[in-house]
């Protein structure tokens, strides 16, 4: 139980939390304090990382017991969500801010909807900074491999701004389940042995190894994916602030890559690549530009283009291959037979398709005429790569946290390389903006299968969608 110590003033209380991210401890204490009608300005909150101990008086006193039938405090769901994020912030005033909001919520239950309120704005900002730090850790942790008596261990050093290490651990467990790894940080460390996650004390950079073949791999990967035509130094620095660079092997290449970008771009153009210029800044602008896009042979057939559709700030984005005959005629993605199958499976998994932004790797229909029919043809790798410009643009505006690729063409459109769906399904990839990419088969593939083969593949498809649904609900909380 959280101990309460009295301050100099007889009616002021100090709450010592067990850890800087101790949401449960804060919640239990806050509940009792609200029930005992203790206003925010009579409480000092403290945790081992928050150094407010000198504010406390000697002597101990427990919190006054709340009246026997004191009602439970009221807390809206969005308040709880904000509180869970904001408590991870390193600002020592976070505990009192969250308590003040809880206190005020008792009289004004819809307070969180008031976006002009200064406390609401403050918690929103803290939560945003925490989310950004979580995202940075997921994107920028880099492992070095070391040999231990019982095998290899991957060790990473990371310096988070906030108390996010513990709450981020589950992500790394899921992503690197089969590896033995340690993530060392000045705020504490996490160790995974394939089965058990253990917490360790804060570490220093000297505790982490430097330099090994994992770095060489990252460097090679980064150099080959670096696209000079997309170089925007300002945007890159914003996403990847310089202070992270020192822990990321591939960033030693950045000055060199920037310096060589113009030359590489010139080579790309000479080799038949195109200067893609600026992308429209809105989805409507992009839809307009895609309509007249003639950068590849499919666009040149003059068929209707099909832009993505759905909410503009969804957690989930679904990417197919290209519009089919029905989609092309009606100008909407996934409304033909493959779309029906997809919708049914999404619904079984607990995802309404309207929750997701749905789009395709290629925006025009590629077909071969056969009498009155138009038979679907697969886009080539080059056509997918050319259309990637548009898919990247949609992702940059929509910023989904999870992307589901249906089939190998969609996966290529997202990763820029050939993908074996059977090998890469079930384990999420991390895209360069920190979103998770999940890969599964395309529903048209299922429609082409018969009998037992179809039942088996549909089951695997259903399993993949259930995994994605679980992640969507986790990240929507
Ligand atoms: N198949 C796709 O990949 N996308 C659609 O929109 C329809 C069918």
The whole-number pLDDT of residue 164 equals 96
Alpha-carbon dihedral sign for residues 322, 328, 333, 336:
negative
* 363 within 8 A of 328, measured Cβ to Cβ: no
Interval between CA 303 and ligand 1 midpoint (Å): 15
The whole-number pLDDT of residue 215 equals 54
Burial label, 434 (beta-carbon count in 10 A; 0-12, 13-18, 19+): middle
Neighbours of 426 (CB within 10 A): 13
Our answer on whether the CB atom of 359 is closer than 6 Å to any ligand 1 atom is no
Our answer on whether the CB atom of 322 is closer than 6 Å to any ligand 1 atom is yes
Q: Following CA atoms 388, 389, 392, 397 in sequence, which dihedral angle do they give, to the nearest 10 degrees?
A: -150
Q: Among 306, 360, 365, say which to mutate for ligand 1: greatest number of ligand atoms within 8 Å of CB.
A: 360
- Ligand 1: which atom is nearest the Cα of residue 409? 3
The per-residue DSSP string of 187-224 comes to TEEEEE-SS-EEEE----GGGS----HHHHHHHHHHHH
The whole-number pLDDT of residue 147 equals 84
Our answer on whether the CB atom of 335 is closer than 6 Å to any ligand 1 atom is no
Alpha-carbon dihedral sign for residues 205, 210, 215, 219:
positive
CA angle 333, 336, 342 (to 5 degrees): 75
- Ligand 1: which atom is nearest the Cα of residue 321? 3
Our answer on whether the CB atom of 327 is closer than 6 Å to any ligand 1 atom is yes
Interval between CA 323 and ligand 1 midpoint (Å): 4
Interval between CA 272 and ligand 1 midpoint (Å): 29
The whole-number pLDDT of residue 221 equals 46
Interval between CA 8 and ligand 1 midpoint (Å): 69
Our answer on whether the CB atom of 321 is closer than 6 Å to any ligand 1 atom is yes
Enumerate residue ranges in the chain where pLDDT < 70: 1-11, 51-62, 211-277, 302
Interval between CA 56 and ligand 1 midpoint (Å): 64
- Residues 310-352 pLDDT 10s: 999 999 999 999 999 999 999 999 999 999 999 999 999 999 9
d(CA 306, CA 287): 8
- Ligand 1: which atom is nearest the Cα of residue 361? 3
Sheet holding 357-360, edge to edge: 357-360, 316-320, 402-406, 436-440, 429-430
Neighbours of 388 (CB within 10 A): 19
The whole-number pLDDT of residue 1 equals 37
The whole-number pLDDT of residue 274 equals 47
Interval between CA 440 and ligand 1 midpoint (Å): 14
Our answer on whether the CB atom of 339 is closer than 6 Å to any ligand 1 atom is yes
Q: Among 336, 364, 377, 412, say which to mutate for ligand 1: greatest number of ligand atoms within 8 Å of CB.
A: 336
Our answer on whether the CB atom of 444 is closer than 6 Å to any ligand 1 atom is yes
The whole-number pLDDT of residue 133 equals 92
Domains along the sequence of the chain with CATH: 4-119 (no CATH), 141-207 (no CATH), 214-259 (no CATH), 283-476 (3.40.470.10)
The residue with tokens 């950079």 is 205
Our answer on whether the CB atom of 360 is closer than 6 Å to any ligand 1 atom is yes
- Quote the pTM value: 0.50
């Amino acid at each position: 139980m959280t101990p309460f110590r009295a301050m100099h003033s007889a009616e002021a209380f100090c709450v010592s939390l067990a850890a800087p991210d101790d949401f449960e401890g804060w919640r239990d204490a806050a509940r009792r304090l609200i029930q005992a009608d203790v206003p925010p300005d009579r409480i000092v909150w403290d945790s081992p990382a928050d150094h407010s101990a000198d504010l406390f008086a000697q002597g101990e006193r427990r919190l006054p017991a709340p009246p026997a039938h004191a009602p439970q405090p009221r807390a809206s769901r969005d308040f709880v969500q904000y509180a869970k994020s904001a408590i991870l912030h390193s600002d020592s005033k976070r505990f009192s801010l969250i308590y003040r909001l809880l206190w005020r919520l008792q009289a004004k239950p819809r307070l969180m909807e008031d976006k002009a309120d200064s406390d609401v704005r403050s918690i929103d900002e803290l939560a945003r900074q925490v989310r950004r730090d979580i995202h940075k850790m997921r994107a920028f942790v880099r492992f070095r491999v070391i040999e231990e008596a019982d095998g290899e261990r991957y060790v990473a050093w990371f310096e988070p701004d906030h108390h996010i290490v513990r709450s981020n651990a589950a992500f790394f467990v899921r992503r690197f389940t089969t590896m033995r790894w340690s993530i060392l940080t000045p705020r504490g460390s996490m160790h995974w042995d394939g089965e058990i996650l253990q917490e360790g004390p804060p570490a220093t950079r000297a505790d982490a190894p430097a330099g090994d073949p994992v770095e060489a791999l990252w460097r090679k990967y980064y150099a080959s994916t670096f696209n000079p035509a997309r170089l925007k130094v300002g945007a890159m620095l914003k996403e990847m602030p310089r202070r992270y660079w020192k822990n990321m092997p591939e960033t030693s290449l950045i000055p060199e890559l920037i310096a060589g970008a113009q030359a590489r771009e010139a080579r790309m153009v000479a080799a038949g690549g195109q200067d893609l210029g600026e992308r429209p800044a809105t989805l409507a602008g992009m839809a307009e530009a895609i309509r007249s896009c003639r950068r590849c042979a499919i666009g040149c057939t003059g068929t209707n283009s099909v832009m993505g559709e759905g909410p503009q700030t969804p957690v989930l984005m679904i990417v197919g291959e290209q519009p089919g005959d029905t989609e092309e005629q009606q100008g909407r993605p996934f409304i033909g037979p493959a779309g029906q199958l997809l919708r049914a499976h999404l619904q079984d998994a607990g995802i309404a398709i309207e929750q997701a932004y749905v789009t395709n790797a290629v925006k025009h229909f590629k077909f071969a005429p056969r009498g009155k029919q138009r038979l679907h043809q697969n886009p080539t790798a080059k056509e997918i790569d050319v259309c990637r410009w548009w898919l990247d643009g949609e992702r940059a505006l929509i910023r989904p946290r999870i992307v589901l690729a249906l089939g190998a063409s969609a996966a290529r459109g997202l990763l820029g390389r050939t993908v074996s769906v059977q090998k890469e399904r079930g384990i999420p990839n991390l895209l360069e903006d920190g979103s998770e990419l999940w890969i599964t088969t395309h529903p048209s593939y299922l429609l082409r299968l018969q009998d037992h083969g179809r039942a088996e593949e549909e089951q695997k498809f259903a399993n993949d969608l259930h995994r994605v649904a679980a992640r969507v609900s986790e990240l929507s909380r």
